[in-house]
Amino acid sequence: MTTLRQRMIEDMRIRNFATTTQRSYVHYVAEFAKYFRRSPDQLDLEAVRQYQLYLTQERKLSPQSINTFVSAVQFLFLVTLEMPWVKEDFPRARVPEKLPVVPSPEEVQAFFDHVNGLENRVVLLTCYGSGLRISEAISLKLSDVDSKRMLIRVEHGKGGKDRYTMLSPTLLCILRAYFRIRRPGPWLFPSPWDSQNHVSPTTVQTACHEAWKRSGIGKRVTPHVLRHSFATHMLENGVDSRVIQALLGHTRIDTTARYTAVSSATIGKTVSPLDRLWKPAKPKATKRNPRKP
């Protein structure tokens, strides 16, 4: 390991970056250096620009992936190398705003009818029942389930933030039945090969994909779609968006507000200004002749 890489990793650890973020940043910086066959500390902003064009035009990476590269080299140059540049010197790709395609409650139920494996089923039910990310669900410990307060504690969620989300009575019953069968610990969903580690996200994602295929549902179902479904269905049931924001762990309310755009109940109940301007006349009731049947 080079001194520069070690220094960058230490800088990320000091700032308590998630392990996955550290690996991602190191990967993108290493590929950046490999492309130019030079150490990153010998490259400049023009090299960053050329590499962005390469990723866009030749590798055809998604805007999200390109922006992850930008975040990685920005951290390297501004924090680790302490270059006299600013964030504006690292332009980002525009990410198209796409609304999540959310299955209906009936479609979600049909999906769960095809999930194989007790652990897989309970993990996915937890994602849908409490709005958890797959990484948050598989990382739950027994101590994170607070049945007295009906809460689930999410430790080190996205951005390293802790939060509480809801524990529904139905999910509590499911978790208790699961516990009586499996007797897990300390992880709620331990790995089948090593009880000291939690189950792999890939295992659950594969089971989710296979269940979706078997269900025949047209809308794609993934663990993250179940999280989207949790938020959308809560909104359709009249839960305030601020509450949903707290349950999901969103920092900004506009991130949560996008679920309003996919909520059929919210859209369908909205009054058009045309309805306020003009209302169709009600048909007049006709008087019946009492002599006629």
What's 13's domain CATH number?
1.10.150.130
The identity of residue 177, as a single letter, is A
Residue 81 burial (CB < 10 Å; 0-12/13-18/19+)? middle
Catalytic, out of 92, 156, 219, 250: 250
83, 162: one domain: no
How many CB atoms within 10 Å of residue 235?
A: 21
What contacts 5, CB < 8 A, 6 or more positions away? 26, 29, 30
Establish whether 209 is a catalytic residue. Answer: no
How many CB atoms within 10 Å of residue 17?
A: 18
Interatomic CA distance for residues 140 and 5, integer angstroms: 32
Domain assignment present for 276: no
Establish whether 158 is a catalytic residue. Answer: yes
According to the model, what pLDDT value does residue 166 have? 93
Sheet holding 151-154, edge to edge: 145-146, 151-154, 163-166
- The tens digit of pLDDT for each residue in 187-239 reads 999 998 887 899 999 999 999 999 999 999 999 999 999 999 999 998 888 88
Dihedral (Cα; 238, 222, 245, 97), 10-degree rounding = -100
Q: Taking the mean position of all CA atoms in its chain, how far away is CA 108?
A: 17
Catalytic, out of 5, 163, 224, 258: 224
Catalytic, out of 28, 121, 178, 227: 227
Which residue among 61, 89, 117 closes a domain? 89
53, 124: one domain: no
Interatomic CA distance for residues 131 and 125, integer angstroms: 9
132, 264: one domain: yes
How many CB atoms within 10 Å of residue 203?
A: 17
Establish whether 133 is a catalytic residue. Answer: yes
186, 137: one domain: yes
229, 144: one domain: yes
According to the model, what pLDDT value does residue 293 have? 44
149, 264: one domain: yes
Residue 46 burial (CB < 10 Å; 0-12/13-18/19+)? exposed
109, 251: one domain: yes
Interatomic CA distance for residues 291 and 293, integer angstroms: 7
Nearest to 199 by CA among 287, 276, 123, 125: 123
Q: What is the DSSP string of 201-239?
A: HHHHHHHHHHHHHHHT-SS---HHHHHHHHHHHHHHTT-
Catalytic, out of 28, 51, 133, 233: 133
Catalytic, out of 92, 158, 182, 209: 158
13, 136: one domain: no
Terminus-to-terminus CA distance in the chain, angstroms? Answer: 97
Establish whether 242 is a catalytic residue. Answer: no
Establish whether 25 is a catalytic residue. Answer: no
CA separation (Å) from 248 to 103, 136, 199, 221? 18, 11, 22, 18
What contacts 195, CB < 8 A, 6 or more positions away? 184, 185, 187
Q: How many distinct structural domains can be found in the chain?
A: 2
The partner residues of 141 in beta bridges, in order of sequence, read: 187
Establish whether 250 is a catalytic residue. Answer: yes
In the chain, which residues have pLDDT < 50? Answer: 293
Domain residue limits at 240: 105-268
According to the model, what pLDDT value does residue 146 have? 95
Domain assignment present for 80: yes
Residue 130 is given by DSSP the state H
43, 184: one domain: no
